[in-house]
Structure 1
Amino acid sequence: MELTINVIDAFTDATFKGNPAAVIITENWLSVDLMQSIAVENNLSETAFVKKIDNQHYEIRWFSPITEIDFCGHATLAASFVIFSKSNGLKTINFFAKAVGDLSVTKMDNGYIQMSFPNRKPKVIDDIPLALLNGLSIKPAEVLLNDQGYFVVYEQEADVLNVIPNNELLKQLAPFDVVVTSKSSEYDFISRYFWPANGGDEDPVTGSIHSGLAPYWASKLNKSKLIAYQASKRGGKLICSIEGSKVYISGKAVQYLEGKITV
């Protein structure tokens, strides 16, 4: 069987920046074992498998090299980029994902792709796991939690940039991942994302976690529109806005590769 594969750098306008994701669009689902094997072979943060329903409606699933993921923003952006690129005049796509429901995506006139995600604002916790406290080289100012991960808030931007994770300890927090974040001098806020239990050591740019980061910082900064930067080695910029139960996350993407795989 031959499949078309696209590799897209998401949340960037320059190749070799942002977060790369593979995208495979099919008429019918492949087996779970095959999808996982392809994701392992690709060895990217995520491979998005997309099942076409019609020109505007699709189902989507995301696989890291380790496991299937409930929710992935950058691979959704990558999949949207591929679909928009192949469909002249198409402005809106609707994805369905089992864990998060319907996701609406719009191609904006300014070149950004805007994704509508559920608001997953985290809640403050008092009982902080020792694996989290001992798994980060800098003590948190505050810790919160949502369905995806622990949110570690720092008072200084330098703490986010300089913190060293112990991923063997953070792995013990499964199924949760860890995001560290602070206010920023250049952006509204910055973050880094560690996910050794589900994908790898540090994710370059994580769209899904911004459905929690954006509402958190919106309430702290008293503003509904924010510019975020994920401060990994590759780095990525995200435009976020909050409207009630929805978080809109926008980014750009660029094509890196289009090819065929034989499985």
Structure 2
Amino acid sequence: MEIPVFIVDAFTNQAFKGNPAAVCLLPNALRDELYQKIAAEMNLSETAFIVKVKSADDFISGSRFGLRWFTPTNEVPLCGHATLASAAVLFYQKKNQNSVLVFETLSGELCVRLCEDSIIMDFPLHKPVPQDPAGVQGIIKATVGDLSVQDVHYCSVTKKLLIRLSDSCDRSLLTSLQPDSLNLLHSDSSGRVKGVIVTAKGAPTVQPGYDFFSRYFAPWNGIPEDPVTGSAHTVLAGYWSEKLDKKRMLAFQCSGRGGELGLELRDDGRVDISGHAVIILQGTLTL
């Protein structure tokens, strides 16, 4: 079996920035164990598998596809950067003829569309709720050490804990965080938390005008740090929209690679997440 495979840097317009994802194009579904083996072999934070829904469709004219995402250790219900990467492969490399594509996923139908030089994804909005810091003190300590924390929220749908640093903490303190993955893993054994978002208020009056910054750590999913995380921004968008009283925001995830995300809360309770993507490699996976 020969499977076309691509590596795409998502949420960036520069190679070797943003978040790399592998994308595989499949005419038919595979056995679950094979998806996981391929994802482990690719060893990126996410490997996306695009599957034709109808055998008569192709990747050029089809408008609806199945989409699944796997980390090196497990399947996840939602992934932003690998969805963006998947759309980039279909739009940019396969020259798909449709302006809107629909992906059938574990998180329901996700629509993506082209808008000038960016791709916009219609994602669910996951608003977090306040969390008593005392109940997650071990995670907070393992993630941010002794830095001052202003807010702690939790999203039960995504199992993501959001830690907001005090406004007295500037971006450099967020950027310099180096949590130990093993300490973070051992800080929670309840299974409630599968990822930790650390965020800080931005400086929207200073160009390019970021409303907030973030980083994301998910050793529970085999990802010590995810460079740019679309799914985390379904939580961040809900949090910061209320704090800033804004529906349209520009965010920057300040990992070592870094990436930029446009966010717009919709009237239907969902969020549009926009970004750029660069295809840097294409080849064939032979099984």
TM-score, scaled to structure 1: 0.95
Deviation of the 1:128 alpha carbon:
2.8
Q: Which one of 192, 196, 200 corresponds to residue 178 of structure 1? A: 196
- What is the rounded CA distance, in whole Å, between the counterparts of 1:89 and 1:4 in structure 2? 19
Deviation of the 1:59 alpha carbon:
1.1
Aligned to 1:164: 178
Segments of structure 1 that go 5 or more residues without pairing to the other structure are: none
Task: Say if 2:141 is the partner of 1:151.
Answer: no
Matched to 2:200, the amino acid is: S
Q: Deviations over 1:154-184 (max 9, x none)?
A: 1223332233313223224445210100111
Matched to 1:38, the amino acid is: I
- What is the rounded CA distance, in whole Å, between the counterparts of 1:162 and 1:31 in structure 2? 41
Deviation of the 1:139 alpha carbon:
4.4
| 4+ residue segments displaced more than 3 Å | 172-175
Matched to 1:246, the amino acid is: R
- What is the rounded CA distance, in whole Å, between the counterparts of 2:89 and 2:139 in structure 1? 37
Q: Which one of 126, 140, 144 corresponds to residue 120 of structure 1? A: 126
- The sequence identity of aligned pairs, in percent, is 40
Q: Please give the residue correspondences for 1:4-153 in structure 2 after superposition, counting only pairs within 5 Å.
A: 4-53=4-53, 54=57, 55-85=62-92, 86-98=94-106, 100-109=107-116, 111-126=117-132, 127-136=134-143, 137=145, 138-146=147-155, 147-148=157-158, 149-153=160-164
- What is the rounded CA distance, in whole Å, between the counterparts of 2:233 and 2:115 in structure 1? 19
Segments of structure 2 that go 5 or more residues without pairing to the other structure are: 204-208
Aligned to 2:206: none
Contact 1:125/1:144 (<8 A) preserved:
yes
Max radius of gyration: which structure?
2
Aligned length: 261
SS of 1:197's partner is helix
Q: Deviations over 1:77-109 (max 9, x none)?
A: 0000011121354210001112x1111101112
TM-score, scaled to structure 2: 0.87
- What is the rounded CA distance, in whole Å, between the counterparts of 1:3 and 1:42 in structure 2? 13
Matched to 2:141, the amino acid is: N
Query: Cα RMSD between the aligned structures?
Result: 1.4
